Amino acid sequence: MKAWKILAIVLVGYSLYAGLMFDVPRLVILNETIRNLYFHVPMWFSMIALLGGSLAYSFRFLRSGTEGQPSNLDRDNQARSFAEVAMVFAMLGLFTGMIWAKATWGAYWTADPKLQGTAVTLLIYAAYFILRTSIDDPEKRARLAAVYNVFAFVLMIVFIGILPRMTDSLHPGNGGNPAFGNYDLDNGMRMVFYPAVLGWILMGWWIATLRVRLERLRYRNNH
């Protein structure tokens, strides 16, 4: 087994243990739910990393067809598989966030810019998959999907990274709310949070590569 896969297991395993057993700052309202930082936030970091990977593969697909070379449909397979696994992580992030919101804000869903932006992002990527299924020619499908993927990624950054920071938001890290500020994420928490983020990103990457390899086998079987 490759070293980075072992690292993924070790880091996530460590974060599960440390996330429950280590000391955390005592804050009002949050109480023990502050530990959710180790499990909820890495889902979103993993989604962004996987969507970034998907974007890179889309670029590489678009470049593969130039200079008289045949375009490389495997790059399209990679772009799609990575986006797919990213959406699984998005769902996990969304549901864990809803549980956390119920406990701290009093509602599963609010009309908060961060939450609405996330919902819009999910719809944008849902459209990516619908676009794919609506085109029969693999070459054309791959090309259009790759171009759309670039557009989708930019919108994702705007909707979850930029807009919520420009207005008022309940969500930490947005609208003047602190998240990774020096006083609420103490050094003890960093020692768990960063390994958790890296571990989950690697875990997601692993699942995505399995998806890619499975699709390659399916393709090989059909041709």
Partner 1 sequence: MADIFRSEGKMLVVLVVLGIVFVGLVAYLIWMDRRIKKLEQKP
List residues near partner 1 by CB under 8 A.
1, 5, 9, 12-13, 16-17, 20-21, 23-24, 26, 31-32, 206-207, 210, 213-214, 216-217
**In the complex, minimum distance from the CB of residue 44 to partner 1, in angstroms, rounded to a whole number:** 20
* Smaller CB separation from partner 1, 45 or 200: 200
* Smaller CB separation from partner 1, 14 or 148: 14
CA distance 130 to 107: 31
CA distances from 186 to 14, 25, 124 (A): 18, 8, 35
What is the distance of C-alpha 135 from the center of its chain? 26
* Smaller CB separation from partner 1, 3 or 21: 21
What letter represents residue 102's amino acid? K
Cβ atoms of 200 and 12 within 8 Å: the answer is yes
Cβ atoms of 142 and 73 within 8 Å: the answer is yes
> Please, where are the H alpha helices in the chain?
3-21, 37-64, 73-104, 113-133, 138-156, 163-166, 187-222
CA distances from 11 to 67, 124, 131 (A): 43, 31, 36
Surface-to-core class of residue 50, CB atoms within 10 Å of its CB (0-12 exposed, 13-18 middle, 19+ buried) = buried
**In the complex, minimum distance from the CB of residue 158 to partner 1, in angstroms, rounded to a whole number:** 33
* Smaller CB separation from partner 1, 2 or 137: 2
Please state, as a whole number, how many other Cβ atoms lie within 10 Å of the Cβ of residue 55: 20
* Smaller CB separation from partner 1, 99 or 126: 99
* Smaller CB separation from partner 1, 22 or 59: 22
